Chain A
Amino acid sequence: MKLNFSIYRYNPDVDNAPRMQDYALEVEEGQDMMVLDALIALKEQDPTLSFRRSCREGVCGSDGVNMNGKNGLACITPLSALGKGKIVVRPLPGLPVVRDLVVDMSQFYTQYEKIKPFLINDDKHPPAREHLQSPEERAKLDGLYECILCACCSTSCPSFWWNPDKFVGPAGLLHAYRFLIDSRDTATDARLNDLDDAFSVFRCHGIMNCVSVCPKGLNPTKAIGQIKSMLLQRAV
């Protein structure tokens, strides 16, 4: 059985423009594999093909790519899920391309940095051992802390494409909410102040592309909705 691929190739140092290159892979009849395995096999054929990967099991977030038009992790997307016919693999949309499927994630990380992704606690008398949380308080972090920062969501979000410097984006906002509702964090007001403008949060128009692509099944739109209502409640 022959599988056909069309892969985005671009080396800004030598190429004038990006191009799509066709590849074919011979596999046993009926055999399925992950997109990442196919990419690794294709790299054997053509060592110049570049992509990122590390854990190859959906926990590191390195291999976010756009497969047949939808963002996802190559390592946990089976070829069978992409239907029959040619498989088109492109880099995550919107970010500058370093080479082939490797993108420059600086804009994405800058937004992540902005939301101060760490616990802030100005308690004058910190507990001797640790800050305790009730099971209920801890449960509020579920569906938020699992994010692996793969950028599949933010690079599928039109609002992030148009304003990557001002709109925090779904991944950053998911993390922002994770710290806003953490019972051990005391910087809630300061965090909300930082988000209280026309772009950081409110550029989200609830398009929900982020939800449809998140490989961890998280729901950034819901978290963003919660931040919006926190900002609203504070204003009235």
Chain B
Amino acid sequence: MVTEQASLKRNGVQDFVTLRATALIITLFSFYMAYFFIATPVITYDVWVSLFSGIFMKVFTFITLVAIMYHVKIGLWQVLTDYVKAPGLRATIQYVLNIIAFVYVVVGLFVLWGVK
């Protein structure tokens, strides 16, 4: 039904599922971190490092970062198509935001990598 320019073409069903699946991962991660903060009496640098040194936490964090990237990409596309009506401006903002989301993942990957 939508026969607009390509910038408006996304797959509704796919986005719907992706948004919910990524939201679930982000929620799980948030709960896990909340549990960590509540259950740990004193959080020192060593405790913090040891939390992220296990392979489980590395993978979990990385998956969450990727989930955030996709969640943000779709969510902000929806917000932008609601509020920014000029196609050129919208494409530019979307491009910049996508790059920022991607940079978060890359930086996150390096940080995780660095934790021994």
A interface, CB within 8 angstroms of B: 114, 158-159, 162-163, 166, 194-203, 228, 231-232, 235
B10: contacting residue among A159, A163, A198, CB under 8 A: A198
Q: Which residues of B contact A196 (CB under 8 A)?
A: 12-13
B1 — which chain A residues lie within 8 A by C-beta?
114, 166, 194-195, 197, 199-200
Pick from A114, A166, A201: contact of B4, CB under 8 Å = A166
Contact of B81 among A163, A194, A195, A231 (CB under 8 A): A163
Q: Is B17 an interface residue (CB 8 A)?
A: yes
Nearest CB in chain A to that of B15: its residue: A198
**Chain A residues whose C-beta falls within 8 Å of the C-beta of B83 in the assembled complex:** 162
Q: Check B82–A202 contact: CB distance below 8 A.
A: no
Known contacts A163-B81, A197-B11, A201-B12; can you find 11 more A-B pairs with CB under 8 A? Answer: A159-B82, A166-B1, A195-B1, A196-B12, A196-B13, A197-B1, A198-B8, A198-B9, A199-B8, A200-B2, A231-B12
A202 touches B2 (CB 8 A): no
* Interface residues of B, count at CB 8 A: 17
When the two chains form the complex, which single residue of A158, A198, A203 contacts B11, counting CB atoms closer than 8 Å? A198
Is A231 in contact with B13, judged by CB distance below 8 angstroms?
A: yes
CB distance from B63 to the nearest CB of A (A): 22
B90 to chain A, nearest CB (A): 13
Give Cα A101 to B78, complex, Å: 31
**Which partner residue on chain A sits nearest B2 by CB separation?**
A197
In angstroms, Cα B39 to Cα A113, docked, is: 58
Knowing A166-B2, A166-B4, the reply to whether A198 touches B12 (Cβ < 8 A) is: yes
